[in-house]
Amino acid sequence: MSEVVQFNYSLLVPEYVLAVTAGVVLLADAFRAELKLGRGTVPWMVVAGAVLTVLASIVTAGRTGEFAGLFAVDAFTTFFRVLLAATLAVVVVGSHEFVTKHIRHQGEFYTMLVFATLGGTVMAASRELLTAYIGVELLSFSLYVAVSLAKRDPRSGEAGLKYVLLGGVASATLLYGMSLIYGAAGSTSYGLIAEHLAKDSEGVHMALVLGLAMVIAGLGFKASAVPFHMWTPDAYEGAPLPVTAILSATSKAAAFALILRLFAGPLLPVLRDWQWMIAVISLLTMVFGNLIALQQTNIKRLLAYSSIGQVGFMLMAVVTMSDVSASALLLHLGGYLVTNLAVFMAVIALYNQTGSEEISDMRGLAESNPYLALVIAAGLFSLSGMPLLAGFTTKFILFQAAASGGYLWLVSIAVIMSTVSLYYYLQVVRQMYVLQADGSLIDPQSPDVNGPRWRLTATGYVVTAGLLAGVVFVGLYVSPLAVAANRAAAALFS
């Protein structure tokens, strides 16, 4: 007798909240004049929806199960629901002044960010290939539009065009790879794929390997892994700064959520067929990302290549796939998001004041705004893996898990690349703390060394202070995040 399909709609409450938020925001912006709403109302609607999503995810955390065999609601899904919704709230709070100044159609812009978050949660919760693909496309199409919404900046349209053309190729590659896996396993359900591949894959081995390669290529594009990273620096530079933050956080987190769902579940029985592919990509990604970052002069492009290097580190946990390495990856991903968002929110606040994204224009920031210089410096040091900050603790655990999995040579290269990253991060710190605005060295004895100072907005202080506290807290007391990561990883392998 066939299994009865369960339609438990209460499992999807957080997704309902996001979908309703997107609709309400779009309609509220369209009828803003009739409803007598100010332009500042729309972003706070998004924040309210994101906060409600986080609360709904936490309240329903103990309610697990599957919806129609399409979605799995467990600790892993809850982890990413909270992570992605919190990211959305932080980005909106930290960038609403930027959006007011530079984005004409705010309703459409915020709606795209909400739908991107919804797509990410679908990717994390998916239990079969077509559902996962729908989540990928919802995330991707939302970001295609969001990247190109800064109509006053010609770079935005160019970035959107490059992103959508390359993204279309990547999506087609991913879908064709999924079709080959379906042909090899005879099902799109993760459970049935794992069951079939665990029994026998010899008769369809070549088709399966080709399908694996194409799936890795498609997901590699979404995660910005080398050699599928070419869109990343252009999209980061051309996109509005809040979208760049979403690309570096939400897009990365969602990509790794799906990677973990696939490679720790249905594809785990054929680990030997894909493990070497991920190892090569991890090596190339960390090396090329960090080396090319050395020559960047634009802060957004530098952070783009920095994020590529970070992806290389994260892929080591996929190579050594186990509950331990998956937990380490989730832990590092959480620490990376907090750190990266701290840097981006500070850069957005700086752009609101200076209108520049060039690293050279950050000269003398320690004199004009010491607090903001501190936030940026702490974030960059955390990304490089300096002690007492989130990046050190989470990266150490990630490297330890990869080394325990038998890939000590890959970890050794990762340590070298982390040292390289410190050099280009220090170049930014040098601009802020060593040089004055005119390019000369700061003379502590000079009476006008402090120069004119400026302050952040209230929301700017709140969001950067919260993220800076998170960077320090995770670095000194990682236990709460580690517990959540362990529970999520355990659900993944249950």
Together in a domain, 19 and 136: yes
10 pLDDT band, cuts 50/70/90, is confident
Q: Do 336 and 460 lie in a common domain?
A: yes
**Of 349 and 451, which is predicted with more confidence?**
349
Query: Among residues 260, 14, 210, 219, which one has the least CA distance to residue 136?
Result: 219
C-alpha torsion 416→252→471→389, nearest 10: -10
Report helix, strand or coil for 442. Answer: coil
Residue 166, domain member (yes or no) = no
Name the range with the highest mean pLDDT among 62-66, 89-93, 442-446: 89-93
Give which of 83, 55, 117 is closest to 246, Cα–Cα: 117
109 and 148, same domain (yes or no): yes
Region 122-146 average pLDDT: 93
Within a domain: 202: no
Tell me how far the alpha carbon of residue 416 is from its chain's centroid. 24
Contacts of 359 (CB under 8 A, 6+ apart): 296, 297, 298, 299, 302, 427, 428, 431
Specify the DSSP class assigned to residue 454: -
**What is the enclosing helix (H) or strand (E) of 72?**
strand 71-73
Clarify whether residues 280 and 257 are in a common domain.
no
Return the top range by mean pLDDT from 34-38, 84-88, 367-371, 434-438.
84-88
Does some domain include residue 226?
no
The domain total for the chain is 2
Question: Are 243 and 358 contained in the same domain?
Answer: no
Residue 317 shares a structural domain with residue 446: yes
Segment 227-252 mean pLDDT = 91
**pLDDT computed for residue 186 by the predictor:** 85
Q: Is residue 453 part of a domain?
A: yes
Q: Are residues 360 and 406 in the same domain?
A: yes
Q: Write the DSSP assignment of 85-108 as a string of letters.
A: HHHHHHHHHHHHHHHHHH-S-HHH
The pLDDT assigned to 244 comes to 92
Render pLDDT for 79-124 as a digit per residue (tens, 0 to 9): 999 999 999 999 999 998 888 888 888 889 999 999 999 999 999 9
Distance CA 220, CA 231 (A): 12
Overall average pLDDT of the 319-342 stretch: 94
The whole-model pTM stands at 0.93
Residue 130 tokens read as: 């077509």
- Taking the CA atoms of 242, 244, 246 and 248 in sequence, report the sign of the dihedral they define: negative
Residue 1, pLDDT score: 37
Q: Which amino acid is at 268?
A: L
In-domain check, residue 58: yes
- The arithmetic mean of pLDDT across residues 178-185, rounded, is 91
- How far is 478 from 482, CA to CA, in rounded Å? 6
What is the mean pLDDT of the segment spanning 410-424?
94
Q: Is residue 195 part of a domain?
A: no
Residues 302, 258, single domain; the answer is no
Range of the domain at 119: 1-157+231-262
Are residues 247 and 300 both part of a single domain? Answer: no
Q: Does some domain include residue 183?
A: no
Neighbours of 206 (CB within 10 A): 10
Q: Please name the residues in contact with 104: beta carbons below 8 A apart, sequence gap of 6 or more.
A: 149, 151, 152
% pLDDT > 70, the chain: 95
Q: What is the pLDDT of residues 40-62, one digit of tens each?
A: 788 999 999 999 999 999 988 87
pLDDT digits (tens, 9 = 90+) for 350-379: 998 888 888 988 988 888 899 999 999 999
Determine the pLDDT at residue 2.
Answer: 47
At 83 the pLDDT is 95
Structure tokens at 179: 């079709």
Report how far residue 280's alpha carbon sits from residue 220's, in angstroms, rounded to the nearest whole number: 12
Q: What is the dihedral of CA 172, 174, 180, 182, to 10 degrees?
A: -110
Q: Do 285 and 379 belong to one domain? A: yes
Residue-level pLDDT at 211 = 92
Same domain, yes or no: 328 and 424: yes
Verify that 255 and 287 share a domain, yes or no.
Answer: no
Would 162 be classed as within a structural domain? no
